Amino acid sequence: MGKVRPVVVIDVVDDTCIVVAAKVTSKDLRQDSSGSVVPIIDWDECGLRKPSYIRIDQKLELSFESLLRDEPIGKLPDSYMGVIVRAISSIGS
């Protein structure tokens, strides 16, 4: 079993228990100008241990069973969802 890593769940497909998740990383991506990185400004308030970024270009498909081992690591405010959706839309264009 691998290391526990945070992801942002952006969609759940019907009853199939498949989620599309965007990878969260603490790698410094401030210089990334691709439009595929969303910085988590209030990372500490979201329950993360380090400054973190959402990698929109690295979507993962995970079974619901493999998504959580214990409790959620943190929770993003709802205001991030609009930013994430716009970033995903701009990459798909």
Reading the block at residue 38, the tokens are 């969303």
Q: How far is CA 42 from CA 6, 38, 49, 63, 80, in A?
A: 15, 12, 11, 28, 11
Q: Which of 54, 10, 37, 53 is nearest to 91 (CA)?
A: 37
| Tens digits of residue pLDDT in 66-78 | 776 667 778 888 8
Helices (H), 1-93: 64-67, 79-92
Instruction: Look at the domain 7-92 and name its fold.
Output: SH3 type barrels. (2.30.30)
pTM value > 0.95? no
Q: Taking residues 14-25, what's their average pLDDT? A: 67
Residue 57: predicted pLDDT: 78
Please give the residue that has the higher pLDDT: either 1 or 79: 79
Structural domain boundaries in the chain: 7-92
Gyration radius of the chain's alpha carbons:
13
Question: Is the pLDDT reported for residue 37 higher than 90?
Answer: no
Residue 2: predicted pLDDT: 64
Of the pLDDT bands very low, low, confident and very high (cuts 50, 70, 90), residue 44 is very high
Distance of CA 68 to the CA centre of its chain: 14
Question: Is the pLDDT reported for residue 51 higher than 90?
Answer: yes
